[in-house]
Amino acid sequence: MSNDEVYAAGLLNRALDPATQPPEIQAFLRAELDLLHDVIMEGMRVIDVGCGTGRHLLLVRDRLRLGVGVDYEHSYIAEADRRAGGRHLHFVTGDATAIPVVATFDFAMCLTNTWGTMSDKTGVLREIRRLAPKPHTRLLSVYSEASVPSRREWYRRLGHEVLEDTREYLVTEGGFRSEHFSEARLRGLVGDCTIHPLADIAYVVTF
Ligand SMILES: C[S@@+](CC[C@H](N)C(=O)[O-])C[C@H]1O[C@@H](n2cnc3c(N)ncnc32)[C@H](O)[C@@H]1O
């Protein structure tokens, strides 16, 4: 299976159940929520690339003038729509390398190592830059190399034993592929950016 098939089979919903998450993963997910509270300001227009079922936009919805979430898995978008119930949040089915949106945004985010599961990383960055044209208003959160042991355990609990473990990615029995990054690799892929550690197993990249 490829990542799109794994997501279509509903992996995200099981992965977001805290009962499946090792403590390091729980700490990382909580740190992302705290980060959002710090970076999303009143009245912003925000796009979430690879939004899943929309939890991050839903968390900050009261601050937003407009929130748009994009994900290629239609069942996640349908669930996000159902949760949002309209009111300045919009969810769109589409690929992150060809986002069917022409508006521009004050802020773009791609969280929870979503970018690390996407095959055409440069194509996704191109779309993020188009949609949030001002530098330093674009944010990725991605796994560092230190995330490997806790991800191995998390994926095992989800029935995805890790079969391949390299310096750059893990591949599971179920065909799920997820990357991790060094600072040097991030700078090589993203170019001019700032990088900060997040929890003990991730980086926040702003560009
Ligand atoms: C790790 S999950 C995170 C979902 C969401 N950001 C969250 O934290 O709850 C990655 C998400 O990216 C979506 N995705 C992966 N590759 C994509 C692509 N090329 N285009 C659009 N969505 C993609 C998946 O369907 C999945 O919902």
Domains by residue range for the chain, with CATH: 3-206 (3.40.50.150)
Residue with the nearest Cα to atom 14 of ligand 1?
50
- Contact residues for 66 (Cβ-Cβ < 8 A; gap 6+): 45, 46, 88, 90, 103, 105
Confidence of residue 75 (pLDDT cuts 50, 70, 90): very high
Residue 71 C-alpha to ligand 1 middle, in angstroms?
A: 6
Residue 178 near ligand 1, beta carbon < 6 Å: no
Residue 24 sits at φ, ψ, to 5 deg, of -65, -35
Distance between CA 132 and CA 57 in Å, rounded? 16
Distance 107 CA to ligand 1 centre (A): 18
- Which residue from 2, 3, 7 has its CB within 8 A of the most atoms of ligand 1, so it is best to mutate? 7
Question: How many Cα atoms within 13 Å fall on the side-chain side of residue 111?
Answer: 25
- Model pLDDT, residue 187: 98
Is residue 69 a contact partner of residue 77, using CB atoms and an 8 Å limit? yes
User: Could you read off the pLDDT of 21-74 as tens digits, one per residue?
Assistant: 999 999 999 999 999 999 999 999 999 999 999 999 999 999 999 999 999 999
In this model, does residue 86 exceed pLDDT 80? no
